[in-house]
Amino acid sequence: MVKAELVKRSPLRILEKSINGGVGKGNIAVLASRKGVGKTACLVHIATDKLLRGGRVIHVSFAARVDHIVSWYDDIFKEISKWKNLDAAVEIHDEIIKNRVIMNFNQAGIQTEQVLRSLGAMITDGQFPADMVIFDGFDLSVSGRSDLAAVKSFAKSVDLEVWFSASLKGPDPLFDDQWIPRELSAYADIIDVLISLQFEGDHVRLQLAKDHDKLNPGNLHLKLDPKTLLIAEDKP
Amino acid sequence: MNTEAIKRMRNIGISAHIDSGKTTLTERILFYCKKIHAIHEVHGKDGVGATMDSMDLERERGITITSAATNVTWLNNPINIIDTPGHVDFTIEVERALRVLDGAILVLSAVEGVQSQSITVDRQLKRYKVPRLAFINKADRTGANPYKVRDQLVEKLNLNAVLMQIPIGLEDRFQGVVDLTTMKAIYFDGESGEELRVEEVPSDLAAEAAKKRETMLDAVSMFSDELAEAFLEGKVTDELVYAAVRKGTIARELCPVFIGSAYKNKGVQPLLDAVVRFLPNPTEVTNVALDLDKNEAEVTLVADPSLPTVALAFKLEDGQYGQLTYIRVYQGSLKKGDELYNTRSKRRFKVGRLVRMHADNMEDISESECGDIVALFGIECASGDTFCSPQLNYSMTSMFVPNPVISLAITPKDKKSSDNMSKALNRFTKEDPTFRSFVDPESNETIIQGMGELHLDVYIERMKREYRAEVETGKPQVAYREAISQKAEFDYVHKKQTGGAGQYGRVAGFVEPIEGNEYEFVNSIKGGAIPTEYISSCDKGFRKAIEKGTLIGFPVVGVRVTINDGASHPVDSSDMAFQFAAIGAFRQVYPRAKPQILEPIMKVVVEGPTEYQGNVFASINQRRGIILATTEDGNFSRVEAEVPLSEMFGYSTALRSMTQGKAEFSMEFLKYGRVPTSISEELVRTFQDSNQKVVVR
């Protein structure tokens, strides 16, 4: 299958339709769940989809090393190209690598301001006009509202969409009756798109809790396939 | 020979930036260990000048420690001091020296503090996981501020630097140090500071000393619950402190700091005590080898003299008496007469003369301890070779030697230089398998090849300084490659049948691109269309043809040639005829196979203070580079990128100026990549105009 076709048929198009055409530039999306459920896999799939559409992605992480992140991308790309037998997979892979940068911050207690400064340097001095920034492992509970607001204002100024992964640590029940994680309720108004990952035995369901101005617990009919670690349609 | 002896051994390097006084310190260490009879009397081993990276001071004063490793003894502890190259290049030589060390002393000037070269040197130590002590030297100079330097060690190098002493007086009033563990003052008497006088802490320093001791104990007790408890109960003993400091230092989570002035003969003996107390012995360091019989699987070596021997030849030196090979014995032991196996050359040899190097003489020995550093005489080998007991096939380094990516034509300035140049090249190529040299048959020029611009610059400089061989250099040349990008068919007749012996050969088939840099030849001839004896001639011809592609005269890689038809003449066909046919066929089909130019792409890593990050990003961008990842660690950033080699010339200078000398970069070959069309067109144009090898502007 050629790349264009693959992109068209991606389950992520379903996601986009459900959230009013996409996250939108200058907006923030959050993927929330307990640790180990599959947030990083989803984020990497979302990033890869963006890359396949010719977009540029900065993947921000707060880890000790960078190689495992590269492995994530390699593995997910392999699964995607296997899924629909992608033509010229190797060339496409080389192309999309050029449009992805991993920025890793290894310092304990680094200030959000510093992270945004470095992002700015990459976008301007590095001439890397990113379309999407992924914050993987950014501890939302530690950072305050002002940090989130700073990120949003940065996103607006450089015209990109931001995805966060939020690791929920609280006691059960994690969510309120609108599927908003209780520990994120203080930030709910700044977050534009909020998706929770629900562990359901043999797969993980993607639950849309907030779609821009709409608070509707709509069923996305999307799941995270544990075998391929790809977002897939959850056909009944 | 037993494990107790090994535990007393220390293998250390002294790492320093240029103005820190490394040479003076080394000299004093030799003096106090009774290795030299008076200060200022250390001479070079064989009259050959110091290596390019040694301090200018060294050369000026005529003092050189040219031994790759010098053995001294301090209080019944044998210590090998390994010469650590100071220049800022990640060459194989640096790697080998750092592999052979178990610990290091990082020397800094109390006046200048942490300099950009100390940053580089520390980074190298971190990369090779070397535990270290810090010695703040020159406490007697105007502007000396050891406290400030300690703070810099924390801020700039991210080290958990803990003062183990405080100075008694500073600048011209510097008299000695207070040991915060024993809480005693130490003074250095005698003509050369060789007599230690221990007294009570001067009353005016008592409060300061007590405070700094608290700080020290606070930091050090993190490494020992026993000490922490004793600290709370006020029952701290020297032994508890030493044990905790040793644990923290070896784990590389602590860097104990000492103060002194080597020039004024103060502070060196306590530093030596610290080397013994806090730096690891060979059994406390993990050393890994690769098992060549198991696809280079990693094997952990054990510093046990009874196990089979594994040793690394880390430095070769040409001396008056022949070639000296310095080796570090990692496992097992070595005796005169032992049979060893060189796992690179795959040759066995007998250990002949075995020596230990001291500052002023060479001592013949009959056996070497495990963990020790000794030298062998007259062994044919290359630097980096691994020697094992014959039943093992381990290598300390991967056997993979990368192909050079850059070459340079050099011309000696006169006859003397020419002779010296040959000697120099001989020695350098033996020491470093990634450095090659040969004479170009076409131009008759001497060509040197290496892994980067800096790599070659270092050798040219060393040729001048060590061998007095001055050479002129041409422009650096990138090792381009050519490759076809699509399948194409050929059908070619080579015919010369006009009078006399003729030549005839027809060969048909197709070429296609394949992954990798190889050449493949497939014989699909049916029915003897080409007689069997000429099949290999075709292969030979194709191999010849691909040596020089017609785009820009560089080798063609990644091509598979299949022959499936042809014709021959009963009289005029011959080996030569079919070779020519193959060459002609290739030249003819080549343009139709959509050939492209490939260039070496390097993996470039730039490390430096975060404040210059933007400049670094821009510099990579300007060089057609792709940034892959960045890692920010406190005030330091590390940028990984892929950049074409042809764009990296002069990067060293550019980087230095855009980061005030505070950033460093390393570069290694990654892969070959397609050259963009515009550049490709220009390369072809230049080649066609001059009809010579392409020169990079």
Q: How confident is the model at residue B89 (pLDDT cuts 50, 70, 90)?
A: very low
Average confidence (pLDDT) over B572-599: 94
**Cβ-count burial of B40 within 10 angstroms (0-12 exposed, 13-18 middle, 19+ buried)?**
exposed
Q: Pick the range with the lowest mean pLDDT from A131-135, B32-36, B328-332.
A: B32-36
Given an 8 Å threshold on Cβ–Cβ distance, is A101 in contact with B627?
A: yes
Cα–Cα distance for residue pair B101/B106, rounded to 1 Å:
13
Residue among B266, B223, B274, B275 at smallest CA distance from B101: B275
Q: Is the pLDDT of residue B677 over 70?
A: yes
Radius of gyration for chain B, computed over Cα atoms and rounded to the nearest angstrom: 30
Q: What is the model's pLDDT at position B41?
A: 35
* CB-CB contact of B178 with B184 (8 Å): yes
Radius of gyration for chain A, computed over Cα atoms and rounded to the nearest angstrom: 17
Least CB-CB distance to A125: which of B618, B628, B634?
A: B618
3-state secondary structure string across B349-400:
EECCCEEEECCCCEEEECEECCCCEEEEECCCCCCCCEEECCCCCEECCCCC
Q: What percent of chain B has pLDDT over 70?
A: 90
Given an 8 Å threshold on Cβ–Cβ distance, is A106 in contact with B617?
A: no
Q: How far is CA A123 from the centre of its chain?
A: 19
Average confidence (pLDDT) over B158-169: 94
Q: How confident is the model at residue B55 (pLDDT cuts 50, 70, 90)?
A: very low
Candidates A104, A113, A119, A133, partner chain B, best to mutate (most B CBs within 10 A): A104
Given an 8 Å threshold on Cβ–Cβ distance, is B629 in contact with A101?
A: yes
Q: How confident is the model at residue B61 (pLDDT cuts 50, 70, 90)?
A: very low
CB atoms within 10 A of CB B451: 24
Question: What are the two backbone dihedrals, phi and then psi, of residue B605, each rounded to the nearest 5 degrees?
Answer: -120, 125
Between A77 and B249, name the one with better pLDDT: B249
CB atoms within 10 A of CB B491: 14
Check whether domain B287-395 has CATH 2.40.30.10, yes or no = yes
**Domain ranges across chain B:** 3-176+254-282, 287-395, 406-471, 482-593, 597-690
Q: Taking CA atoms, what residue in A is nearest to B637?
A: A105
Over residues A198-209, the pLDDT tens digits come to 878 777 888 777
Q: B628: distance to nearest CA of chain A, Å?
A: 5
Q: Tokens 């980061």 correspond to what residue?
A: B659
Given an 8 Å threshold on Cβ–Cβ distance, is B626 in contact with A126?
A: no
Given an 8 Å threshold on Cβ–Cβ distance, is A107 in contact with B620?
A: no
The answer to whether A67 faces chain B, any CB pair under 8 Å, is no
Q: How confident is the model at residue B389 (pLDDT cuts 50, 70, 90)?
A: very high
Q: For residue A129, is the peptide bond before it cis, meaning its omega torsion is within 30 degrees of 0?
A: no
CATH of B406-471, one of 3.30.750.24, 2.30.30.90, 3.40.50.2300, 3.30.70.870: 3.30.70.870
Q: Taking CA atoms, what residue in B is nearest to A69?
A: B629
Token digits of residue B105:
């002393």
Token digits of residue B421:
């140049």
Q: What is the model's pLDDT at position B221?
A: 93
CATH of B597-690, one of 3.40.50.300, 3.40.920.10, 3.30.70.240, 3.20.20.140: 3.30.70.240
B-contacting residues in A 68-87 (Cβ below 8 Å): 69-70
Domain residues for the domain of A151 are 3-233
Q: What is the model's pLDDT at position B88?
A: 45
Q: Pick the range with the lowest mean pLDDT from A185-194, B235-244, B314-323, B630-639.
A: B314-323
Q: Give the amino acid at B648.
A: M
Q: Is the pLDDT of residue A152 over 50?
A: yes
Sign of CA dihedral B265, B271, B273, B276: negative
CB atoms within 10 A of CB B84: 25
Residue among B369, B347, B495 at smallest CA distance from B7: B369
Given an 8 Å threshold on Cβ–Cβ distance, is A126 in contact with B621?
A: yes
Check whether domain B482-593 has CATH 3.30.230.10, yes or no = yes
Q: How confident is the model at residue B180 (pLDDT cuts 50, 70, 90)?
A: very high
Q: Are strands A203-211 and B367-368 parallel, antiparallel or unpaired?
A: unpaired
Q: What percent of chain B has pLDDT over 90?
A: 51
Q: Is the pLDDT of residue B480 over 70?
A: yes
The tally of CA atoms less than 13 A away on the side-chain side of residue B387 is 26
Given an 8 Å threshold on Cβ–Cβ distance, is B621 in contact with A70?
A: no
Helix, strand or coil for residue B653? helix
Q: What is the model's pLDDT at position B38?
A: 52
Look over chain B and give the mean of its residue pLDDT values, rounded to a whole number.
86
Q: B637: distance to nearest CA of chain A, Å?
A: 9
Between A62 and B421, name the one with better pLDDT: B421
Q: What is the model's pLDDT at position A212?
A: 76
Q: How far is CA B312 from the centre of its chain?
A: 14
Given an 8 Å threshold on Cβ–Cβ distance, is A125 in contact with B627?
A: no
Q: Is the pLDDT of residue B588 over 80?
A: yes
Helix, strand or coil for residue B291? strand
Candidates B515, B610, B617, partner chain A, best to mutate (most A CBs within 10 A): B617
ipTM tops 0.90: no
CATH of B3-176+254-282, one of 3.40.50.300, 3.40.50.720, 3.30.450.40, 3.40.50.970: 3.40.50.300
Which residues of chain B lie closer than 8 angstroms to A106, CB-CB? 631-633
Which residues of chain B lie closer than 8 angstroms to A126, CB-CB? 614, 617-618, 620-621, 627
Q: Is the pLDDT of residue B121 over 80?
A: no
Q: Taking CA atoms, what residue in B is nearest to A57?
A: B628
Q: Give the amino acid at B290.
A: L
Q: Is the pLDDT of residue B62 over 50?
A: no
Q: Is the pLDDT of residue B63 over 50?
A: no
Q: What is the model's pLDDT at position B90?
A: 44
Q: How many domains does chain A have?
A: 1
Average confidence (pLDDT) over A78-98: 81
Least CB-CB distance to B617: which of A107, A110, A122?
A: A122
Domain harbouring A139, CATH code: 3.40.50.300
Q: What is the model's pLDDT at position B386?
A: 93
Given an 8 Å threshold on Cβ–Cβ distance, is B632 in contact with A125?
A: no
DSSP A23: S
DSSP B47: S
Residue among B318, B311, B283, B309 at smallest CA distance from B397: B311
Which residues of chain A lie closer than 8 angstroms to B637, CB-CB? 118
User: What is the b/e burial string over B156-185, where b = at least 16 CB atoms within 10 angstroms of the residue's CB?
Assistant: bbebbbbbbbbbbebbeebbbbbbbbeeeb
**pTM for the whole structure:** 0.67
E strands in chain A: 28-33, 57-61, 100-105, 132-136, 161-167, 193-200, 203-211, 219-224, 231-233
Q: Do domains B406-471 and B597-690 have the same CATH topology?
A: yes
Over residues A98-150, the pLDDT tens digits come to 899 999 987 667 788 889 999 999 999 889 999 999 998 887 767 678 888 89
Which residues of chain B lie closer than 8 angstroms to A107, CB-CB? 632-634
Between B99 and A20, name the one with better pLDDT: B99
Interface of B with A (CB under 8 A): 610, 613-615, 617-618, 620-621, 626-634, 637, 640
Between A179 and A151, name the one with better pLDDT: A151
Which residues of chain A lie closer than 8 angstroms to B628, CB-CB? 97, 101-102
